[in-house]
Every structure is written in C-alpha cells, then in structure tokens.
Structure 1
Amino acid sequence: MRYLRAVSMAFSMYSRLPMPWVRWSDDCRAWVLCAFPLVGAVLGLLLLAWSALADLLTLTPQLRAAGAVLLPLAYTGGIHMDGFCDTCDALASHQDRARKLEILKDSRVGAFAVLGCVSYLLLQYALWCQPGWEKEDLWALALVPVLSRAMSGYGALTQPGARADGLLAAFTEQEQGRGRQRFLLFLCALLALAIGMLGVGCAAVAAAILVYLWYIQMARREFGGLTGDLAGWFLQVCELGCLAAMVLAREIAEVLI
C-alpha cells in the first residue's frame, strides 16, 4: 500500500493527471523517486498514441512535430521546463555559487530563461519534423522519458544536494536510500539495453549517458550539488539530446549505406 501511495504522489507532483488524494507521509515520500519513471512511461505511451493518431489522420510533419513538442508540456504542467529556465538564468548570470542558488529560487523569469526556452522548443520541433521515423525509433523515443527520470532519480539519491531545503531534498532526506539506488540503477541498465536494441536507439543511450555525466559535473562545479531545478534541467536536456542523437545517427547511417 505504501508503494501505491508513492506512485500516486509521484503522478500528483510530476504530471497533470488527476489522482486520488493520499496522505503525504515520510515513508511514502522516500519512494516517490522510484515511482518517477512510471510518470515517464505514461508520457511515452501518450507520444506513441499521438503518433498513431497522426498516422490515422495523415497529419503533416509540422502538425505531428507540434503535438510531440506540446504534449510533454501539457502532461507535466511544465514543471521540468520551469527548472530548465531557472537554470538557464542562473548559469548565464556568471555570479558566485550563492547568488546562482538564489536565482534558482527566484520565481521571476529572466531574459536568458526566455532565450533558452525558445531555443529549446525550436530545436525540438525541428528534430521532430525530420521525416522517416520508423516504428523501432518511436518505441525507443517512448522509452527515453522513462530512462531520463530513472537517471534523474538515481542522481538525486547518489549525489550531494546543493542545499538542505527544497523539493529535491524533501525526497532524498530519508536514510534508507540504498535499496532505492540499486533499483534505479538496475532500471537504468535495463532501459538502456532495451532502447539500444531499437532502431538507432543506441545513439540515444550514448547521448543520455554523456548528458548525465555533464549534468553531474556541472551541478557540482556551479552549484555545489543538485537541486530540483537542476533535475528539471537535466530531464529536458537529456530528452532533447537523445532525440538529436537519434536524428544524427539515422542521417549518418543513410550516408554510409
């Protein structure tokens, strides 16, 4: 029952899906990050459903791409994009570590957040507009949101936090983290194997690993550890990187063949 409550808490926090009310308790909160990949699994299914609907209605590539870009924002409520924008502002400030952490907590939107968000969505749209997506590629892309969330949860449980308060700290402050770490690491490995066997999914796996290593190094250097906003930044960059890597790998394969 505790795990079902953790799942409900994860969907309530990280998606806009209506969920039954549950009491938020420490023992359930400790397992929210393990349920986080399930939120990504539903997003992947929604993307597959959108692709099938686009095929049925014979939509143009532009409309398909627009749906693929807007669907994650509508499903998550923009919570991860909000973290991405805050991180763009903080990184572009070139201030000291303490000031960057203050910028992350600032609810106001700066110029660099707007530029980062627009650039991100434009590039994502352009990548989705690329023709010739195979079924194997789409299945790999549907698994990417699961992998990105599993990697995000694993990082949160294994890396130091930048501050003692905040959303991420609330989910990682419990002491019984070893079992959760093993579970998420195993899930990451399993998903990486599955994605790597689908189409050019191996390129997506390579991109996800590179983005994760960059994320950990950047978070430690610039902020002294992880925060919820940085976790949102990682999710957005990881999923964009996987999409870009698959497009690039497919183009290279066509040239070589």
Structure 2
Amino acid sequence: MIFFQTIAVAFAMFSAVPVPQFQWNEKNMRYAMCAFPLIGLVIGGLWSLCGALPLPALVKAGGFCLLPVWVTGGIHLDGYADTCDALSSYGDREKKLEILKDPHCGAFAVIRLCSYFLAYFALCTAVQFTPRTGFLWTLALVLERALSGLAVAAFPMAKNTGLAHTFASAADRKTVRSVLFGLAFALCAALTVLGGWGLALAAVLVFVRYYVVSKKQFGGITGDLAGWFLQKAELWMLAALCACQWGGLL
C-alpha cells in the first residue's frame, strides 16, 4: 500500500495524471522523489506513440512539444517562468527570492516562455522519429527527473518553506540520494552505450549549471528553480538529440 501511495504522491504533485485521493503523510512522502522519474517514463511512452502514428509532420511536432505540458500540467514551466523573471531582475538574493514568490507573470517570463516554445517546436520539427530515438528520449526524460530529485535531496535549500523544502524535509535524504544517483548513473551509461551520449552530457552540464546558479544567485534551490532546471535540461537534451541525428550518430 505504501509503495503505491508513494508513486501516487509523486504523480499527484508533479503531473496532471489523475490519482486516487488519500492523506499524505511522512511515510508515503519519504521516498516520493524516487518515484518522480516514472513521470518521464509516461511522457516518453506517449511521445513514442505520437511519433509512431501516421500524422502530418507539423502535427507530430506539435504533439512532441505539447505532450510534456499536458502530462505535467505545466508545473515545471511555472517555475521556469518565475526563475527567468528573478534572474532578469539582477537584484540581490532577497529580491530574487521575493520575485519567485510573486504569483504574477513578468515581462521577462513571457519573453522567455515564447522563446522557449519557439525553440522547442523548431527542434521537434527537426527530430526524425525512429523506435531507437523514442527509446533514447524516454531515457532522457527519466534522467532529467532523476537529477531533479537528486538535487532536492542533495543541494542546499534557499529557504525553509516551499515545495522543494517540504519534499526535502519529508524525504529519507540519504536513501533518496543513493537511489537517484545510481539511477542517473545507469541512465547516463545506457544513453552512452546506445549512442545518445550527447543527451547525457547535456543533462549533466545543465545540472552543474543548476547547482552553480542556485547557490550563487539564490543561496540554494527552490521548487521554482527545480522547474527551471528541468525545462532547461529538456530543451538542451532535445537540441543534443537533433545534433546527434544531424551528425549521423543516430
């Protein structure tokens, strides 16, 4: 029962997939971050299904672009937008954290979101779908969530409130770190063996930047910064996927 509740907590918080209603508690939240990568598995499966359907190229690209938003409900894009606003303010740490709490969407968030979707859709039109590509992309979507969960369990927190702090406080951080580090390592190895080393490299480089930016600009991570990382990682991994295809590596 706890096993299924743990998975349900992860899906209830980080996706728009309907799950049964139940009381969240210390037990079913303890390892919820370990179940977070399963959402990437769901998106990857739907992405591959979209790629396999006999759809016009632009419709297929639109599906590739929108499926992650539909499955997640846009929760990570919300964090991406807030973080873009905060970083563009060039204020001090306290000012940036205040902007993260502001529910309004600023001009820089709108600009960055429009730019993000334009770049994402353009890359989706360039992807040549094959079963191998679908499998690699699914691994990449799981990898970015494994790294995101690892950060929650390993990186310092910017404040003692908020979504990231709630999950970090409830988690068995030592076990979560071990499980997600092992999963991320295995996924990077699998991607490399299958020729998708560019995707693994992109994810790791964005992860390192995530740590540097969060520590320097905010004093640690927040839920919004976690969303910013995930969206950045996804865009750069998609660019790496296209580059590998263009270079004849896939």
Normalised by the size of structure 1, how large is the TM-score? 0.93
Match of 1:243 in 2: 238
Identity %: 40
Match of 1:204 in 2: 199
Distance 1:176 1:75, change over 3 A: closer
Residue 9 of structure 1 contacts residue 22 of structure 1 at CA under 8 Å; is this kept in 2?
no
1:213 is matched by which residue type in structure 2?
A: V
CA distance in 2, matches of 1:246, 1:176: 34
Matches within 5 A, 1:40-55: 40-53=40-53
Match of 2:38 in 1: 38
3-state secondary structure, aligned to 1:173:
helix
Residue 127 of structure 2 contacts residue 242 of structure 2 at CA under 8 Å; is this kept in 1?
no
Instruction: Structure 1: give runs of 5+ residues left out of the alignment.
Output: none
- The RMSD of aligned alpha carbons is 1.3
Q: State the Cα deviation string for residues 37-65 of structure 1 (Å, max 9, x = none).
A: 11111111111111122xxx3x2221111
Query: Match for 1:216 among 174, 195, 211?
Result: 211
CA distance in 1, matches of 2:132, 2:51: 13
Match of 1:91 in 2: 87
Residue 89 of structure 1 contacts residue 113 of structure 1 at CA under 8 Å; is this kept in 2?
yes
Residue 83 of structure 1 contacts residue 230 of structure 1 at CA under 8 Å; is this kept in 2?
yes
CA distance in 2, matches of 1:8, 1:202: 32
Q: Quick check: 186-195 or 85-94, which moved more?
A: 186-195
Q: State the Cα deviation string for residues 120-143 of structure 1 (Å, max 9, x = none).
A: 111011111115333212211122
Matched, 1:66 2:62: yes
Instruction: Structure 2: give runs of 5+ residues left out of the alignment.
Output: none
Normalised by the size of structure 2, how large is the TM-score? 0.96
Matched, 1:9 2:9: yes
Match of 1:155 in 2: 151
Residue 29 of structure 2 contacts residue 171 of structure 2 at CA under 8 Å; is this kept in 1?
no
Distance 1:68 1:175, change over 3 A: closer
